[in-house]
Amino acid sequence: MRTMHIKITLTVFILVSFSFSSAQVLTIGECYEKARENYPLIKQKELLVKSTEFSVANVKSGFLPQLSLNGQASYQSEVTRLPGPGQLIEPLSKDQYKIYLDLNQSIYDGGVVKKNSALQETASLVEDQKIEVELYKIKERINQIYFGAILIDEQLAQIDLVKKDLESSLKKMESAIRNGTAFRTNADILQAELLKTDQRAVELKAARKSYLEMLGMFIHQPLNENTGLQMPETLVPQIEPVITRPEISLYNYQSQLYAAQHQVTNTRVVPRVSLYAQGGYGRPGLNVLLNQFDTYYLGGIRFSWNLGGYYNANREKQILDLNLQSVNQQKETFLFNTQLSLRQQNNDLSKLRELIQIDEKLIELRTRIKDTAKSQLDNGVITANDYLRELNAEDQAKQNRSVHEIQLLMTQYTQQVTTGN
C-alpha cells in the first residue's frame, strides 16, 4: 500500500509539474516580435529585395556590349546607273537584300548607368520603408489587445478577493442561522451575490478568451486560457523625446528618390560616346558597283548629343522640385500632429497619476468601512444588503485603481509607439 501511495503521489506531482512547466507566459515585447515576423506583409520584403536585384542588374547591363541581328529585303523603283553609252558595269538589281550583325559598346554615357542604378536602389528603399510603416502599425493593435487582456486579468483577481470575502461572510452567517441569531434571508442575499460574482467571472473569461484568440492570430501561435500575460514594466518618462518613427525615414527616402531622379534627368543632356561594328551579307555589299551577294564589315566610333533634351529636362526638374517640397510639407505636418499627440498623452499621464493617488486613499477608506460593516453583519447589527453595499463600494474603488493603472501603462507604451523609441 505504501508503495502504491508513493507511485500515485509521484504521478500527481509529475502531472502538476508538467502543467506548470507547460503554462505559457508571454511578454509584450515577444508579441511585438512574433506579430511582425508572422504578418503576411513581411513576405513582400523578400520579394522586393529580389526585384531590386534584377532591376539593378538590368540597368548595369548597359555597360555590356549590345549585340543585335537585323535583316532587310527591299525593292526600289530606280537604281544608280553610270552615264554614257554602253554598260561596262552591270547595274544594280532593284530587289536588294541584306542581313547584318550590329555590335555597340558604350565608352562614355554621362553617368546614365551609374545614376539609374542608384535610382533603382533608392526606389527600393522607399518601397521597403512603406512596408515598415505598415508593419509598425501592428504595435498599436498589439497594445490594444494585450492591455485589454491584462485589465481583465486584474478584474478577475479582484473578483477572487470579493468571492473570498463573500464566502467568509456566508460561512459565518450559516453558523449564526444554526445558532438562531440570524435570518435565512441574509444568507440568501450573500449567496445571490456570490452567483452574480460568478456571472461576472464567466463574462470576463469569455472576453479574455477572445483577446487571446486575436493575439494568437497576430503572433501565429495557439493560445488558451492557461496562457499568461506578463505585466509590462513601467517606462521611464522621456523629456523631449526624439521622434524616430518609420514615417520619418520614409519621407527622407522619398526626398532622396527625387534627388536621384534629378540626377538621372541631368544625364539626358550629356554627350555619349561609343564604339560600333557591323558585319553582314547581302546584295549589294559595300561595293555598290558589284551586283552580287557579298560579305562586308565596318566599324568606328560614334558620338551623339541630344541638344533638344534641355527643354524637357528643365520642366522635369521643376516638377521634381515641387514633389520634393510636397514631401517636406508632409513631413512637417506629420511631426506637428505627432507632437500634438505626445502633448495629449503627457496630459493623460499626469491625470492618471493623480487619479491613482486618489484611488489609494479611497481604497483605504472603503476597506475600513467594509471591515466595519462585516463586523457589524457578524454581530447582527446590519443586514446583508447594508454589508454588500459597502463591499461593492470597495470592489468598485479597487477596480477603478486597476483600470487607471492599466490605462497609465497603456498610455506609456502608446507614447513609446508614437515616438518610435
| pLDDT of amino acid 378 | 86
Q: DSSP assignment, residue 220? A: T
d(CA 114, CA 50): 19
**Burial of 388 (C-beta count, 10 Å sphere; 0-12/13-18/19+):** buried
- Look up the pTM and report it: 0.81
* Residue 405 cell numbers, joined: 493603472
| pLDDT of amino acid 100 | 92
Q: What is the pLDDT of residues 124-178, one digit of tens each?
A: 999 999 999 999 999 999 999 999 999 999 999 999 999 999 999 889 888 888 8
Question: Using 50, 70 and 90 to split pLDDT, how confident is the model at 290?
Answer: confident
d(CA 294, CA 281): 6
Q: Give the percent of the chain with pLDDT over 70.
A: 93
If we measure between CA atoms, which residue out of 206, 183, 202, 196 comes closest to residue 395?
Answer: 196
CA angle 84, 88, 94 (to 5 degrees): 90
Lowest mean pLDDT among 46-60, 76-90, 107-121: 76-90
Helix (H) or strand (E) holding 113: helix 112-178
- Residues 197-226, mean pLDDT to the nearest whole number: 94
List the beta bridge partners of residue 276.
104, 300
Q: Is the bond leading into 284 cis (omega within 30 degrees of zero)?
A: yes
Query: For residue 255, is pLDDT > 60?
Result: yes
* Residue 213 cell numbers, joined: 484568440
Helix (H, G, I), strand (E, B) or coil at 224: coil
d(CA 117, CA 61): 10
If we measure between CA atoms, which residue out of 165, 82, 209, 128 comes closest to residue 373?
Answer: 165
**Burial of 269 (C-beta count, 10 Å sphere; 0-12/13-18/19+):** middle
- 79 or 15, higher pLDDT: 79
> Do 169 and 377 form a contact (C-beta atoms < 8 A)?
yes
* Residue 373 cell numbers, joined: 460593516
**Burial of 107 (C-beta count, 10 Å sphere; 0-12/13-18/19+):** exposed
* Residue 259 cell numbers, joined: 534627388
| pLDDT of amino acid 60 | 80
CATH of domain 24-66+92-419: 1.20.1600.10
Question: Using 50, 70 and 90 to split pLDDT, how confident is the model at 11?
Answer: very low
Query: For residue 326, is pLDDT > 90?
Result: yes
